[in-house]
Amino acid sequence: MHEISGVQMFQAIPSDTQAQIKKIGSQMAGLAKGYAVPIIYAPPLQVGGKINGATGCIVQLSTGIFLVTASHVLEGYEVRTRSGEQLNWQVGNLRPYDPLPRVVWRCRERDVVFLRFLDDEVGQICAHLIAAPQQWPPEQPHVGDMIVAAGYPKVSREVDMSLGLIDSGAYSGHLLSRV
């Protein structure tokens, strides 16, 4: 028996409904991208070498403003620097800095790390702040709820050596919850 694909299901919807879904999806993805911030760590451009990228978000809590990302991202940076590599860690539009002294909380089991931002850096970040939710943990999504994700995948990254720039190549997507 042949299962119908998501693309086939979407194509079966009337074209005016498809257009409306695309428009709403694009707006939602744009919103999510506005909250995602790219993280790059690599040797200085003049040195060259492997470029690693990840995504995080900026969270404002009563105790400060933090970059939240996956612990394995920071672990990759640590492994490379322990081996003697000189790396730049760059978040959004900030100048490169050493993230290790900024770790304020880390849970390797849950793959989460919080790094502190300095007050004067917040305005240089290319993402919106996420304020702490009123309820923690937040309510889990229900079946049929929309889930929006955004990030900066490695496959979309472009390096322009002549300008000394790395473009993060934004990505976004949205899904319906089935959990």
Closest CA to 104 of 81, 132, 135, 74: 74
How many structural domains comprise the chain?
1
Going by pLDDT thresholds of 50, 70 and 90, the confidence category of residue 165 is low
Let me know if residue 7 belongs to a domain. no
- Number of Cβ within 10 Å of residue 121's Cβ equals 18
> What average pLDDT score do residues 90-95 get?
89
Mean confidence (pLDDT) of the chain: 80
Closest CA to 144 of 111, 179, 174: 179
11-44 pLDDT tens trace: 888 899 888 888 877 777 677 677 788 899 999 9
Q: Which of 2-6, 33-37, 79-83 has the lowest mean pLDDT?
A: 2-6
Give me the half-sphere count of Cα atoms (radius 13 Å) on the Cβ side of residue 25: 11
Residue-range definition of the domain harbouring residue 40? 15-176
Let me know if residue 1 belongs to a domain. no
Compare 127 and 138 and report the one with higher pLDDT. 138
Residue 162 has pLDDT above 80, yes or no: no
> What average pLDDT score do residues 93-118 get?
93
**With contact defined as beta carbons under 8 Å apart, do 178 and 162 qualify?**
no
CA distances from 81 to 41, 45, 77, 98 (A): 10, 16, 6, 10
The CATH number covering residue 148 comes to: 2.40.10.10
